[in-house]
Amino acid sequence: MLIRHPRLRAILLTLFTLLSLLSLLSSPVSANEEPAPEFTLPTLPNNAEINLKDFRGRVVLLDFWATWCPPCRRSFPWMDEMHSRYEEDGLTIIAVSVDKKRDLIERFIQQMDPAFTVAHDPTGDIARSYRLRAMPTSYLIDREGNLVTSHMGFRSRDKVKLETEIQDLLEK
C-alpha cells in the first residue's frame, strides 16, 4: 500500500525506525568471538585489583551497570543466583560500575550484598573499549577469553535465554 500523505508517511517511517531500534536493544548482539578487551580494575569494597586475563579457563559474565539504572538493580539478584548456581562449574561474574562516585557504589553494594565480584571503572575507559551503548550491558566471554555474545538491557523474559547461553559455554 502506497501512502501519499507526506505527514503520515513521515510518522510511519519514524515508528518503523523506532521499532527497529527497539528490536536491536531487546536482542542479543553477537560478538563474533573476537578477543575480549583486557582490563585491570579495582574491586569494591576492598580495592583489590582484578585483571580479565586472570580468569582464563573460566566463563565470564561481564556486566556494566550504574546505581541510577533501574534494570541494573533488577539484574543483581539474578546474577547472584547465577553465581551460586554455576560458580563451581566455572562461571565468574564481574559487575563493573561506571558511576563516578565511589560512595554511591559502596551504598549500593551494602544494600544488594552481591556474592560476585564488583569492580569500578570511574573513567569509563573499559566501558568504551567494550563499545558500551546501553545500561546495563552484559558480555559473555568464553574460557579462551573471547567475546561470544552481548545483551543490552535486562528483562525478565531474557533470563532463560541468558542462562542457556551460560550453560552452553560452561559445557564447552
Contact 152, 133 (CB under 8 A): yes
The contacts of residue 119 (CB under 8 Å, 6+ apart) are: 41, 42, 43, 44, 50, 94, 95, 96, 97
Q: Is the pLDDT of residue 25 over 50?
A: no
β-bridge mates for residue 46, sequence order: none
Contact 83, 60 (CB under 8 A): no
* Domain 29-171 of CATH type 3.30.1330.10: no
Contact 99, 123 (CB under 8 A): no
Secondary structure of the chain: what % helix, strand, coil (to 5)? 45, 25, 30
User: Rounded to two decimals, what is the model's pTM?
Assistant: 0.80
Kindly list the domain boundaries of the chain, sorted by start residue.
29-171
Q: What pLDDT, in 10s, does the model give residues 38-94?
A: 999 999 988 899 999 999 999 999 999 999 999 999 999 999 999 999 999 999 999
Q: What pLDDT, in 10s, does the model give residues 108-166?
A: 999 999 999 999 999 999 999 999 999 999 999 999 999 999 999 999 999 999 999 99
